């Protein structure tokens, strides 16, 4: 869809079917004034005809292509045959990765403007290098996702096949997005990574920050309401259930009350841990290998390997402030 200037579209005399005026010209003028005030407050330049940020819609299309290329016979087109897989994967990746270059370029240019740097041709070269590295990592990403699918199949007695898990389970859908988002995050395009994560969040109710580091064979059972914060570190063979939060205990501020950004503030979950529904684990604490955290537990301290934590054990824990996943 293209938009061209057409004064009649914003004419103050535009009327409703019942004859009343919409006063569109006044609304458009006021909205323009509001935008200009915001841009001035944010120190934004007044470049005309230039999109400043990546597009959610474009990234959604890229993700559709990547999912199909990663799992062509299960998440690709319904009429795809096995003898055409390589052709489909190659064609789909060519389209998706070239579209991704454009989105990476937009974020790099936005980063340069915000930091006061120049928007130079070198940014285009960097965008290409980032997407090349991203593409080269896709086989390893597929291998990691295979471990997540197997963990879900083996960990759920209701699962009848790995195909059912991949096609139906929201936790697996969220992990496909997270593996892609985390890779983008590590490659230096955190806004793109966050958009990818939020597309999964909106579809599944599972909120995983792209900065979170998650090992192999990760299984989110049911999934709705799961929150995993930016600096969480999760080992291998970990299983969590719905409404689990791995969040921050408190947020450090400066003298003016502004939040300090970054810094480790979310839990470390070692290998072979199970965290049951509704449990909340806050702060930079460590859940030792093989521990089991019971349902609805509120935990703000580290627990040793092999622990079995239930509400009666954890009930004396306190949290000073915070509790968010970011």
* pLDDT tens column, 280-304: 999 999 999 999 999 999 999 999 9
User: What pLDDT does residue 320 have?
Assistant: 47
Kindly state the tokens that stand for 105: 């370029």
CB 103 within 8 A of CB 192: yes
Tens-digit pLDDT string for the chain (326 aa): 555 555 555 554 556 666 568 889 999 999 999 988 988 887 766 554 466 789 999 999 999 999 999 999 999 999 999 999 999 999 999 999 999 999 999 999 999 888 877 778 899 999 999 999 999 999 999 999 999 999 999 999 999 999 999 999 999 999 999 999 999 999 999 999 999 999 999 999 999 999 999 999 999 999 999 999 999 999 999 999 999 999 999 777 777 777 777 789 999 999 999 999 999 999 999 999 999 999 999 999 999 999 999 986 655 554 444 445 56
Q: Tell me the Ramachandran region of residue 103: left when phi exceeds 0, alpha when psi lies from -120 to 50, beta otherwise.
A: alpha
CB 236 within 8 A of CB 204: no
> What is the value of pTM for the model shown?
0.86
Q: How far apart are CA 10 and CA 27, in angstroms?
A: 9
User: What pLDDT does residue 14 have?
Assistant: 59
Q: How far apart are CA 289 and CA 324, in angstroms?
A: 24
Residues in the chain, overall count: 326
Strands (DSSP E) contained in 54-210 are: 207-208
CB 202 within 8 A of CB 221: no
**Structural domains in the chain?**
54-210 (1.10.3130.10), 212-326 (2.160.10.10)
CB 245 within 8 A of CB 280: yes
Phi and psi, residue 290, nearest 5°:
75, 5
User: What pLDDT does residue 319 have?
Assistant: 46
User: What pLDDT does residue 118 have?
Assistant: 76
* pLDDT tens column, 125-149: 999 999 999 999 999 999 999 999 9
User: What pLDDT does residue 40 have?
Assistant: 83
Burial class (CB in 10 A: 0-12, 13-18, 19+), 19: exposed
């Amino acid at each position: 869809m293209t938009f061209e200037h057409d004064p009649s579209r914003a004419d103050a005399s535009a009327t409703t079917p019942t004859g009343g005026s919409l006063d569109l010209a006044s609304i458009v003028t006021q909205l323009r004034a509001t935008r200009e005030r915001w841009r001035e407050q944010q120190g934004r330049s007044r470049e005309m005809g230039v999109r400043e940020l990546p597009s959610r819609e474009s990234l959604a299309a890229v993700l559709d292509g990547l999912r199909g290329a990663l799992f062509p016979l299960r998440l690709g087109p319904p009429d795809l045959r096995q003898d055409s897989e390589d052709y489909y994967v190659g064609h789909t990746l060519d389209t998706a990765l070239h579209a991704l270059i454009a989105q990476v370029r937009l974020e790099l240019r936005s980063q340069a403007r915000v930091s006061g740097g120049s928007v130079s041709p070198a940014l285009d070269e960097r965008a290409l290098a980032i997407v090349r590295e991203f593409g080269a990592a896709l086989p390893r990403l597929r291998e990691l996702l295979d471990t997540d699918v197997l963990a879900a199949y083996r960990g759920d007695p209701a699962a009848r096949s790995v195909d059912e898990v991949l096609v139906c389970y929201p936790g697996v859908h969220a992990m496909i997005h997270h593996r892609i988002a985390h890779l983008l995050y590590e490659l230096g395009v955190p806004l793109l990574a966050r958009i990818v994560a939020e597309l999964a969040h909106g579809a599944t109710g599972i909120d995983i920050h792209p900065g979170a580091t998650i090992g192999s064979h990760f299984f989110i059972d049911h999934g709705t309401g799961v929150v995993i914060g930016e600096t969480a570190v999760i080992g291998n063979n970990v299983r969590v259930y719905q409404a689990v939060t791995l969040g921050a205990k408190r947020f450090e501020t400066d003298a003016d009350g502004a939040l300090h950004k970054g810094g480790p503030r979310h839990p470390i979950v070692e290998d072979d841990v199970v965290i049951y529904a509704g449990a909340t684990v806050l702060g930079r604490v460590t859940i030792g290998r093989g521990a089991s955290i019971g349902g609805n537990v509120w935990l703000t301290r580290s627990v040793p390997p092999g622990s079995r934590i239930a509400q009666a054990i954890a009930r004396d824990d306190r949290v000073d402030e915070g509790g968010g996943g970011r």
